[in-house]
Amino acid sequence: MFAALLLAATTVSAGAIGCGGHHIGARNLGMGNPHAKREYDPKALDVTAQCTSYNYPPVADILTQFPTNWAPATILPSDTAAQQLFSQLNQTLGQKVGNVQVKVGTQGDFSGYQYDNAADPDCWWTKTRCTEPKDTTIPADIWRLPEPNTWGFGFDDGPNCSHNALYNFMAEKKQQATMFFIGSNVMNWPLQALRAKQDGHELCIHTWSHSAMTTLTNEGAFAELYYTREAIKAVTGVTPKCWRPPYGDVDNRIRVIAGFLNLTNVLWSDDTFDWMEGTNNVTSETVVANYQKVFDQAKAGNYSTYGAIVLNHEINNKTMQHMIDQYPNIEANFKYIVPIASAMNWTTPYAEANETYPDFNQYTSGQREGGPVASGEGNSPGSTMTGSAAASASSADTSKKSSSTRNSAAGIFVLAGVAAAMLL
């Protein structure tokens, strides 16, 4: 069975990988008024109780200022602030990336789209795993960590309504994570999002509707990021400076749009494909084996000069439970388990300069609160420190090729093949 899938994978270069956003969207289509009731118990463990919608006035009051949940975002006609910001971006976008085409594909699967992979003019990760644009004025992506023997700990696609067991577990372990939140989920489950901030997790953006960003117009891509940023700010009080594209789907056009919003792109080095469990014969054992592959990398010394950023999801009970089950194995195979901000020394990770985060030394010596940071001295995503950290991360390896070599480990492509097969 796997041989056939492997064959399929080699003909479908870079099929859909990353996140299972299509599942999320489908699950949410039937969601009615998300703010009908007023109940929330941060200690509840029962899924039905946790996922019963509630009324939260701070969000109910601003719903009309946001796009429709789970629909691809556009700038609202009434939103002059967003329009002004976009037209400012729009003035330079044409000359900078005007030659980058809007891509055509479905849910991260671009197998039918013609693109010159060898020349890779757009540094399009989906096709080539490119993370460093040739035009050095366009920000490079982060896909692994400058700190060796380190597991970059984070979750995509949250907040999931039923995340209390996972969050309680992390609180008990004094473990903080980087949460790549979907704007529509934040609006549906604001108190779950707030808990993440209150528990000390780092908040990043994972778009409004989990669309493949390179398929969107400039305005659409801007709106996906802008409104998620606004939603997180409205609910938690902070403005993230980091993001992750659904399916990893990013090219230079999208990098410039995100960069304008001061967002640093954080991709990954290893993928657990946890979201695929239950689809196309992907079993719990397959996901466990995918975790084991990351441990094997560490055992082989492959993380002795830099650290891993591992992709897994806060999407449902299975993905969250896998992380809880695997946590002792992560501890056994990696010296440090840290959120991205700490691994990168982003001591001021948000636009709000008074919001601080522990740097790597602080975090690994047990400190869970940020600071002290002298005024104006914190490091942010996109700051000089990030630049040097990113540079040292890439100099730790000889070429970009090694990333695709690692990603093309047979098991990983077997799964990419499953995803592609499913979507075709």
Ligand X SMILES: *[C@@H]1O[C@H](CO)[C@@H](O)[C@H](O)[C@H]1NC(C)=O
Q: Examine residue 203 and tell whether it contacts Zn ion (CB under 5 A).
A: no
Q: Examine residue 12 and tell whether it contacts ligand X (CB under 6 A).
A: no
Q: Examine residue 149 and tell whether it contacts ligand X (CB under 6 A).
A: no
Amino acid at the residue 314:
E
Q: Examine residue 408 and tell whether it contacts ligand X (CB under 6 A).
A: no
Q: Give the residue among 337, 274, 302 at the shortest CA–CA distance from 20.
A: 274
| Pairing between β-strand 264-265 and β-strand 242-243 as defined by DSSP bridges | parallel
Judged by CB under 5 A, the chain residues 169 through 198 that form the site for Zn ion are: none
Binding partner selected for residue 316 from Zn ion, ligand X, none, CB under the kind-specific 5 to 8 Å limit: ligand X
Using alpha carbons, list the distances in angstroms from residue 204 to 117, 135, 240, 282: 30, 25, 5, 28
Residue selected from 117, 283, 304, 405 as contacting ligand X according to rule CB under 6 A: 405
- DSSP, collapsed to helix, strand or coil, labels residue 92 as helix
Q: Examine residue 296 and tell whether it contacts ligand X (CB under 6 A).
A: yes
CB closer to ligand X, 52 vs 65: 52
Catalytic residue among 122, 141, 156, 274: 156
d(CA 319, CA 324): 9
Q: Examine residue 389 and tell whether it contacts ligand X (CB under 6 A).
A: yes
Does the annotation count 156 as an active-site position? yes
Binding partner selected for residue 19 from ligand X, Zn ion, none, CB under the kind-specific 5 to 8 Å limit: Zn ion
Tell me if 106 sits within 8 A of 2, measured CB to CB. no
d(CA 158, CA 277): 17
Q: Which residues of 274-283 are buried (b: 16+ CB within 10 A; e: fewer)?
A: bbbbeeeebe
Minimum CB separation from ligand X for residue 304, in Å? 10
Q: Give a three-class secondary structure readout of 223-266.
A: HHHHHHHHHHHHHHCCCECEECCHHHCCCHHHHHHHHHCCCEEE
| Pairing between β-strand 202-205 and β-strand 178-181 as defined by DSSP bridges | parallel
- Provide CB contacts within 8 A for 174, sequence distance 6+: 366, 368
Judged by CB under 6 A, the chain residues 319 through 358 that form the site for ligand X are: 320-321, 324, 344-345, 352, 354-355
Judged by CB under 5 A, the chain residues 246 through 265 that form the site for Zn ion are: 246
Binding partner selected for residue 24 from Zn ion, ligand X, none, CB under the kind-specific 5 to 8 Å limit: ligand X
Q: Examine residue 33 and tell whether it contacts ligand X (CB under 6 A).
A: no
Does the annotation count 206 as an active-site position? no
Binding-site size, Zn ion (CB under 5 A): 5
Catalytic residue among 23, 163, 313, 322: 313
Residue 264 phi/psi, 5-degree rounding, is -90, 135
Q: Examine residue 364 and tell whether it contacts ligand X (CB under 6 A).
A: no
Q: Examine residue 315 and tell whether it contacts ligand X (CB under 6 A).
A: yes
Residue 27: enclosing H or E segment and its boundaries?
helix 21-28
Q: Examine residue 90 and tell whether it contacts ligand X (CB under 6 A).
A: yes
Minimum CB separation from ligand X for residue 129, in Å? 14
Q: Examine residue 359 and tell whether it contacts Zn ion (CB under 5 A).
A: no
CB closer to ligand X, 113 vs 368: 368
Q: Examine residue 305 and tell whether it contacts ligand X (CB under 6 A).
A: no
DSSP letter at 36 equals S
CB closer to ligand X, 110 vs 155: 155
- Provide CB contacts within 8 A for 296, sequence distance 6+: none
Binding-site size, ligand X (CB under 6 A): 45
- Checking phi first, is residue 273 left (phi over 0); if not, alpha (psi -120 to 50) or beta? left
Q: Examine residue 111 and tell whether it contacts ligand X (CB under 6 A).
A: no
Closest residue to Zn ion in the complex (CB): 19
Stretch that binds Zn ion, among 149-157, 160-168, 185-193, 325-333 (CB under 5 A): 149-157
- Report the interface residues with Zn ion, using CB under 5 A: 19, 21, 156-157, 246
- Which residues are catalytic, by number? 156, 313
